[in-house]
Amino acid sequence: MKVSIIALAASVGFAATAYAADVVPTAVSYTDGAVEMSLTGMAGNPEEGANIVGDKGLGNCVACHEVSALPDIAFQGMIGPALDGAGDRWSESELRGIVANAKMMFEGTMMPSFYKDTGYIRPGNAYTGKAADDTLGPLLSAQQVEDVVAYLATLKD
């Protein structure tokens, strides 16, 4: 299921001209790891962002990060720092940069880059184990990144 959801999201992102205003992954401008400009020009939806953070087939952020504000989501990971208070610690631009490509701020971090579509070693076609084809898109769409950023900004201590 997670395969189809992400594939669908990616293909919609590419096919629909309504998304033409999105900043494409290769054009995102990072300053000290932060991204000032919205990737979509539209505000993110924090409720949808919470869904993406917790959904195994979408962002699945909780695989590595604990989020106390989402107590119904079982088995939260402890690989990365807890996201509690992320909205206090980071500005919106910093949150956007970290979600889009955390390696720009934290060199060598284990965290996957969620808004990137080039530069991979042996990229696959989702979780099939087969090679990626030319529909390979970022892990999250521009709007999904904005939704996650909007949600993280609500996490205040």
Partner 1 sequence: MNKFTKGLGACMTAIIVASGAMAEPADDTLVINEDIEIVTRTAAPAHLSDVMDEVMSGWLFRGTETRAMEMDDFDNPGMIFVEKAEDMWNTADGSEGKSCADCHGASSEMAGVRPVYPKYVEAAGEVRTMEMAINDCRENRMGAEKWKYIGNEMVNMTALMASVSRGMPVNVAIDGPAQSTWEQGKDIYYTRFGQLELSCANCHEDNYGNMIRADHLSQGQINGFPAYRLKNTKLNAVQDRFKGCIRDTRAETFAPGSAEFVALELYVGSRGNGLSVEGPSVRN
Residues that bind partner 1 (CB under 8 A): 56, 60, 62-64, 66, 71-79, 110, 112-113, 120-132, 136, 139
- In angstroms, the CA 102 to CA 114 distance is 9
Nearer to partner 1, 41 or 81 (CB): 81
Nearer to partner 1, 67 or 150 (CB): 67
Q: How far is the CB of 46 from partner 1 (least distance, A)?
A: 22
Nearer to partner 1, 62 or 152 (CB): 62
Collapsing DSSP to helix, strand or coil, 51 comes out as: helix
- In angstroms, the CA 77 to CA 92 distance is 24
Nearer to partner 1, 12 or 136 (CB): 136
Q: How far is the CB of 91 from partner 1 (least distance, A)?
A: 25
Q: How far is the CB of 31 from partner 1 (least distance, A)?
A: 22
Q: Which residues of 37-61 are buried (b: 16+ CB within 10 A; e: fewer)?
A: ebbbeeebbbebbbbbbbeeebbbb
Rounded to a whole number of angstroms, the distance between the first and last alpha carbons of the chain is 34
Q: How far is the CB of 41 from partner 1 (least distance, A)?
A: 26
Give the angle 59-103-89 at the CA atoms, nearest 5°.
75
